[in-house]
Chains A and B, each alone.
Chain A
Amino acid sequence: MIAKKQKLLGIAMVLPSFLSLIILVVWPVFISIKQSFQNEENQFTWDNYKYVLTDPMMVNNFKYTMLVTLISCVLVLIISYALAAYLRFSNSWFSKVISRLYFIPMFIPGIIAIYGFINMYRDNGWIARFIGSENMPSFVYDIKGLVLMNLWFNIPFTTMLLLSALSAIPGSVIESARDVGAKKLTIFFKFILPLSYNTLLVALTFAFMGIVGSFTAPYLIDKNAPQMLGVSMQQHFSVYHELGQSSSIAVILFLMCAVVGFIYIKNMMKNESHS
């Protein structure tokens, strides 16, 4: 009886998220895929994909999106890893302060952060007032600004993930390695990196998916062309009213994320079968 009740409770707890997933995600995805193969008369066509994959403007947008995403992901991982390693292995008061402060950006609403960023970095913004606007490189309406903004959005969460992975490495492993005379670099490459490799992959997946489909930051900070795919998709949808074309951009974006997701899942399964 109790077991049955618990079972029902379990289902009742899962049901809201399951239903909302079906209604809010699966169904719209299905409609988008269908729409991406339709022309204005709702007939089957490949034209949307032909346009999205061959039009010079769209090809540039794809290249640009990949460029921004790769640069941002690499920088996010390097900076976050360094930060997480510092927080894990240093016991100074400074590291303690930082460990309490580093996730603050997660609690600042995105749009407010972006406008703050613009005021800080624009050509006659706060920084320009200190260093003189002639010494100020252009950040706003430039790829540099967009990458910086992506760092702001992604470093805290990535650091959190990596820090939990590094914290899980027992101190005894490192100490015993040190006792038998392993150098710092050897310890890092033989122990720390392999033991945190999986989490690194998880962090990369999250950062990639967040950045590749981002809209608000590139919309407000980036220049007009080439565009990130999120911005281009919105433009095709609500400015040009090209439902089919915007749907096909969405599907391709989805496939890009699916590839990364697949690599991640495959790796996870490989590791599970090993252990």
Chain B
Amino acid sequence: MLKNLKQHTKKLTITALAGLTALSLVGCNENEKTGDSVTSEEKVKVSLYSTGSLNVQNFWEEVIPLFEQENENIDVELVFLPAGQGGQSTMDRLLAAKKANKDSGVDIYEGGLEDAIRGEEENLFEKLDESNIENIKNIEENNMKGTQNLAIPYRASAVVLAYNSDNVKEVPDTPEDLYKWIENHPGKFAYNDPTTGGSGSSFVISTIYNQLPAEAMNIQDESIMKDWDKGFEILNDLEPYLYQEGVYPKKNQGTLDLLANGEVDMVPAWSDMALEQMNNKLLPENTKLKQINPGFTGGPAYLMVPADNDEQEKEAAQEFVNYALTPEVQKVVIEKMYGFPGIKWGLLDEELQLEFESVSGKYRLFNGGTLGEELNKRWQKEIAN
């Protein structure tokens, strides 16, 4: 056995060595590649940095080849960072490159509005308007508000209630109805840990800001934090009636799994994730979605073009953003991603518009910037315990 162990260690060491060597080789390779793109003139290479759940990655993997077919001289490389695994680092990278006056290597960036706002002071992103991106005229004007033309809302999604229609007969219409439903059906509702996924976070934010005037969602001043008490009280009161008297599964998928295996009957979920999984039969057929009124938060996803690109990259990046706003890509948004289109509904087929009636109720936009982090911290301290 001892001999065996020795052999094992030997094998392990060799494998580890081989792995490391391979790693360092890959490293070299990458360097070569980037070096290449600077010298070769016929093909422009741009990197798209994006984050989110798997459906976002699948979406880009569908769209990028379509784009490259139409624009043979542009090569788009997708750098995808799954949600909660350092998406923030892309912003840090951009900021660091700006300070050092270097090219960040990020040519197109998909992120939230808070990133665009954070980048504004540093002039991180390029202004985009109809002169460089023609299809901006297709965008729903409401969504362009607050972007200062630094970010293009190319799609949107919202958090809705997903429920088991066999067990839930009286579907709540308002947040108050929902809280009553939860109390009357102990253990049958779950929202995920808001620090790990947007749907739980939306439930928490909506609950807290429903107790405040509607404009409060746009306040980024810390003085509003003391007004959160009432909402936190509601969350605390709800806890004994939640799944396992207050277990908050990790990630958006965590609660959807509970719904799928029948442990709970109702969860807040991203409309796009839920629709996609219903379509792939990952959620049972009795699953239905509904937006309550006032709605949960949701919002657009934005494309930004960093200002540190050279002329060629800039044009290619703009071309790509423009392409994302064409009806063809928007159809992919709807059909493959089950997201809301970023362009006016009127520009799309009527059939597609009908499909979305159940969830297209009005979602709200939380624009509290870094207050979201403070909210998470307080949730972890007061509710998770």
Q: Which of B211-219, B342-350, B374-382 contacts A (4 or more CB under 8 A)?
A: B374-382
Q: Which of B16-24, B37-45, B56-64 contacts A (4 or more CB under 8 A)?
A: B16-24
Q: Which of B81-89, B154-162, B221-229, B271-279 contacts A (4 or more CB under 8 A)?
A: B81-89
Q: Which residues 238-254 of B sit at the A interface, judged by CB distance below 8 A?
A: 244, 247-250
Across-interface contacts of A161 in B (CB, < 8 A): 5
**Of the residues A160, A168, A224, contact of B193 by C-beta under 8 Å:** A224
A123-B263, A168-B2, A225-B385 are known contacts. Are A239 and B244 too (CB-CB below 8 A)?
A: no
A20-B20, A223-B247 are known contacts. Are A238 and B384 too (CB-CB below 8 A)?
A: no
| Nearest CB of A to B97, in Å | 17
Q: Are A235 and B380 in contact (CB under 8 A)?
A: yes
Across-interface contacts of B147 in A (CB, < 8 A): none
| Nearest CB of A to B15, in Å | 12
Q: Are B263 and A241 in contact (CB under 8 A)?
A: no
Q: Is B28 an interface residue (CB 8 A)?
A: no
Across-interface contacts of A57 in B (CB, < 8 A): 380-381, 385
Q: Are A240 and B377 in contact (CB under 8 A)?
A: yes
Q: Which residues 208-232 of A sit at the B interface, judged by CB distance below 8 A?
A: 219-220, 223-226
| Nearest CB of A to B114, in Å | 11
Q: Are B381 and A241 in contact (CB under 8 A)?
A: no
**Of the residues A124, A238, A239, contact of B263 by C-beta under 8 Å:** A124
Across-interface contacts of A167 in B (CB, < 8 A): 1-2
A235-B195, A240-B377 are known contacts. Are A124 and B261 too (CB-CB below 8 A)?
A: yes
Q: Are B1 and A241 in contact (CB under 8 A)?
A: no
Q: Are A122 and B384 in contact (CB under 8 A)?
A: no
Query: Which chain A residue lies CB-closest to B89?
Result: A238
Q: Are B244 and A141 in contact (CB under 8 A)?
A: yes
Q: Give CA–CA (A20, B21) in the complex, Å.
A: 9
Q: Is A163 an interface residue (CB 8 A)?
A: yes
Across-interface contacts of B196 in A (CB, < 8 A): 239
Q: Is B355 an interface residue (CB 8 A)?
A: no
Query: Which chain A residue lies CB-closest to B192?
Result: A224
Q: Give CA–CA (A122, B4) in the complex, Å.
A: 37
Q: Are A239 and B2 in contact (CB under 8 A)?
A: no
| Nearest CB of A to B211, in Å | 23
Q: Give CA–CA (A167, B5) in the complex, Å.
A: 11
Query: Which chain B residue lies CB-closest to A133?
Result: B263
Q: Give CA–CA (A78, B381) in the complex, Å.
A: 36
**Of the residues A123, A168, A241, contact of B373 by C-beta under 8 Å:** A241
| Nearest CB of A to B256, in Å | 14
Q: Give CA–CA (A171, B376) in the complex, Å.
A: 60
Q: Are B373 and A240 in contact (CB under 8 A)?
A: yes
Interface residues on A, range: 20 to 34
Q: Give CA–CA (A220, B20) in the complex, Å.
A: 29
**Of the residues A20, A122, A163, contact of B261 by C-beta under 8 Å:** A122
Q: Give CA–CA (A160, B5) in the complex, Å.
A: 8
Q: Are B244 and A123 in contact (CB under 8 A)?
A: yes
Q: Which residues 1-36 of B sit at the A interface, judged by CB distance below 8 A?
A: 1-2, 4-5, 8, 16-17, 20-21, 23-24
Across-interface contacts of B65 in A (CB, < 8 A): none
| Nearest CB of B to A259, in Å | 26
Across-interface contacts of A60 in B (CB, < 8 A): 385
Query: Which chain B residue lies CB-closest to A106?
Result: B8
Q: Is A16 an interface residue (CB 8 A)?
A: yes
Q: Are B86 and A238 in contact (CB under 8 A)?
A: yes
Q: Is B262 an interface residue (CB 8 A)?
A: yes
Across-interface contacts of B263 in A (CB, < 8 A): 122-124
Q: Are A239 and B247 in contact (CB under 8 A)?
A: no
Q: Are B5 and A164 in contact (CB under 8 A)?
A: yes
Across-interface contacts of B1 in A (CB, < 8 A): 160, 163-164, 167
Query: Which chain A residue lies CB-closest to B91?
Result: A241
Across-interface contacts of A16 in B (CB, < 8 A): 17, 20-21, 24
Across-interface contacts of A141 in B (CB, < 8 A): 244, 247, 249
Q: Is A90 an interface residue (CB 8 A)?
A: no
Q: Give CA–CA (A152, B341) in the complex, Å.
A: 46
Please list 7 pairs of residues, one from A and one from B, whose beta carbons are closer than 8 Å in the complex, sorted by A's number.
A16-B24, A60-B385, A160-B8, A219-B250, A220-B250, A238-B85, A239-B373
Extra contacts besides A20-B23, A225-B384, A238-B85 (11): CB < 8 Å? A13-B17, A17-B16, A17-B20, A20-B24, A57-B380, A122-B261, A141-B244, A224-B247, A225-B380, A225-B385, A241-B373
